[in-house]
């Protein structure tokens, strides 16, 4: 199976879209080779601005570019883009609803060896708490390419969460991403696994494994965390009466929380959350970290079984 990191798919998509749309400009904070905005910089140097190691000014400058009609993509690592520059995003971009695309890479613990200082596990929580902000976590290269295109086509601020780690391609050329629309990857009637980002692959793997035990798992790819697809969640809750969420993010405030908010107000059913359990990461190989912090297909299998147990004991 071919593999590509979502950051790489982003960089390629951006360079391609840059040729079609002259209003696209790109800003980076001294990480263009890592974030992959370097592809765009090479093709369109006059529309690429390296802002140096200064994320607050980068996001503020992006706001000004957007106010003057440009479509700025601002990139850095998720930790610094959303952490260091949170208030610039909140006050200079989201409040005036400016058309800035924050495409942040190296999200989650799969950053690996750099350790906890660089492993953003809070970014989805803080970005989705800001009014006017759209939040998207693509699952693979195919989806990333479509997300970047959709970001250019929509007007308004958006946060796109990308990863460092090369991931298997899940979706083929027939896949259709739409902002705010969940995609059912696999049908099932016992439990629904709602996943995003690099947990979509393990969710599918878990469902296939559980099929062997005659447990029918529905798998939903919830790329858009905000605005979340309420209808898809409600329908899944009604169909399977149990939900498992899976994300490479703190279980506080991420996809699991977003799904729980919908369930609590609509169809309250059993929910299990697979994610980083409110703890910082550490240095290590990405696969070792995913295993240690409970972000594998095996962890989803366990959560599914727990959900079924809780559902049946109600």
Partner 1 sequence: MDNDALQVLTDKSGAIRRDIVKMLSEAKSGHPGGSLSSADIVTALYFHEMKVDPAKPDWPERDRFILSKGHAAPVLYAALAEKGYFPVEELATLRKMGSRLQGHPSMKHLPGVEMSTGSLGQGLSAANGMALAGKLDGRDYRVYVLLGDGEIQEGQVWEAAMAAGHYKLDNVVAIIDHNKLQIDGPVAEVMSPDPIGDKWRAFGWHVEEIDGHNFAEIIQALNKAREIKGKPTAIVANTVKGRGVSFMENQVGWHGNAPNAEQCTQALCELGGKADE
Q: Provide the binding-site residues for partner 1, judged by CB under 8 A.
A: 25, 46-47, 49, 51-52, 54, 56-57, 59-70, 72, 87-88, 91-92, 95-97
- CA 40, CA 244: separation in Å to the nearest integer? 38
Q: How far is the CB of 95 from partner 1 (least distance, A)?
A: 5
Residues in the chain: 314
For partner 1, the closer of residues 97 and 186 by Cβ is 97
Q: What are the helix and strand counts (H, E) for the chain?
A: 13, 14
**Residue 185 forms beta bridges with which residues?**
none
Catalytic residue among 55, 143, 145, 272: 55
Indicate if 247 belongs to the active site.
Answer: no
CB of 61 to partner 1, least distance (A): 4
Instruction: Single out the residue of 81, 75, 66, 71 nearest to residue 20, CA to CA.
Output: 71
Phi and psi at 5, nearest 5°, equal -75, 150
How far apart are CB 184 and partner 1 at their closest, in Å? Answer: 37
Q: 13 vs 59, which CB is nearer to partner 1?
A: 59
State the Cα angle at 75 between 74 and 77, rounded to 5°.
145
Cis peptide bond prior to 227, omega within 30° of 0 = yes
- 77 vs 293, which CB is nearer to partner 1? 77
Q: Which is nearer to partner 1, 52 or 268 (CB)?
A: 52
For the residues of 47-116, what is the DSSP string, one character each?
Answer: GEEE--S-HHHHHHHHHHHHHTT-EEEEE-BHIIIIIITHHHIIIIIITTT---EEEEBSBSGGG-TT-G
* Cβ–Cβ < 8 Å for 29, 78: no
Least CB distance from residue 70 to partner 1, whole Å?
5
Nearer to partner 1, 19 or 264 (CB): 19
What is the DSSP code (8-state) at residue 89? I
Q: What's the closest the beta carbon of residue 149 comes to partner 1, in angstroms?
A: 22
Task: Give burial (CB, 10 Å; 0-12/13-18/19+) of 70.
Answer: middle
Nearer to partner 1, 70 or 216 (CB): 70
Q: By the 8 A CB rule, do 140 and 117 touch?
A: no
Smallest distance, partner 1 to C-beta of residue 76, A: 13
Cα separation, 141 vs 147, whole angstroms: 10
Q: What are the residue ranges of helices labelled H in 217-294?
A: 230-240, 255-265, 286-292
- The set of catalytic residues is 55
């Amino acid at each position: 199976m071919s593999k590509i990191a979502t950051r790489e798919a982003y960089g390629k998509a951006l360079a391609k879209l840059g040729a079609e749309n002259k209003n696209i400009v790109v800003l980076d904070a001294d990480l263009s080779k890592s974030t992959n905005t370097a592809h765009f910089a090479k093709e369109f140097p006059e529309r690429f601005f390296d802002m140096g190691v200064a994320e607050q000014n980068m996001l503020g400058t992006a706001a000004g570019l957007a106010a003057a009609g440009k479509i700025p993509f601002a990139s850095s690592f998720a930790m610094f883009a959303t952490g260091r520059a949170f208030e610039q995003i909140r006050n200079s971009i989201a409040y005036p609803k400016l058309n800035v695309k924050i495409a942040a890479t190296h999200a989650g613990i799969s950053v690996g060896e750099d350790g906890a200082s660089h492993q953003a596990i809070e970014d989805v929580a803080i970005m989705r708490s800001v009014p006017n902000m759209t939040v998207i976590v693509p699952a693979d290269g195919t989806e990333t390419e479509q997300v970047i295109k959709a970001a250019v086509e929509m007007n308004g601020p958006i946060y796109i969460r990308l990863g460092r780690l090369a991931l298997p391609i899940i979706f083929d050329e027939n896949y259709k991403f739409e902002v705010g629309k969940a995609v059912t990857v696999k049908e099932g009637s016992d439990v629904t696994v709602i996943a995003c980002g690099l947990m979509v692959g393990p969710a599918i793997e878990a469902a296939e494994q559980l099929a062997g035990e005659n447990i029918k798992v529905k798998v939903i790819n919830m790329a858009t965390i905000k605005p979340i697809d309420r209808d898809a969640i409600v329908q899944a809750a009604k169909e399977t009466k149990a939900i498992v969420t899976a994300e490479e993010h703190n279980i506080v405030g991420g996809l699991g929380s977003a799904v729980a908010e919908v369930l609590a107000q609509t169809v309250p059913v059993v929910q299990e959350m697979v994610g980083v359990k409110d703890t910082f990461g550490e240095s290590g190989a990405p696969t070792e970290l995913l295993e240690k912090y409970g972000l594998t297909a095996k962890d989803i299998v366990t959560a599914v079984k727990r959900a079924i147990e809780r559902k049946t004991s109600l």
